[in-house]
Structure 1
């Protein structure tokens, strides 16, 4: 899925106005808009089993589960169609999620 299409889905799912001119305003429950949007992004990614690739687009992927023996998260495997799989660390995926949230809100 193209990154811009995913951002449109998030904006459509939001019950709060996402307007870049207003920025990261505080919602009536006291949390910032970015926290709310991040929950929407993670929820949609989980529903569709999507992960963010290095090119910014979203593809089917697996991984990121907690490994109790090693006491750390497993790496993600992103599976772009007709292309080599991409391995991504948990921290890098968090960074990619934060970037897309900032693009939507700020």
Structure 2
């Protein structure tokens, strides 16, 4: 009986016509996931575009708006600097570097 070989040939021909993968052993190939629609574009369309307040204020200076969160952050940074809790100064050259001043 040549029925299985004919079915195999028919399946192979069908795969070549419909551009699917020929997998007679039934191995896991991941083709199911590769054929799926991409999720990224629909997820981006689902979430609305966020409004960046600081960018909006910077682009429209004539509206004279104030970003209170940014102003509060700047005040906090200045207060921390007065107490000596701010970021350390950056070294301009190697002689000012803290690494060279360490003693071993």
Q: Which has the higher strand share?
A: 1
- TM bin, normalised by shorter chain, reads under 0.3
Greater RCO between the two (CA within 8 Å, min separation 6)? 1
TM-score, structure 1 normalization: 0.18
Larger radius of gyration: 2
TM-score, structure 2 normalization: 0.18
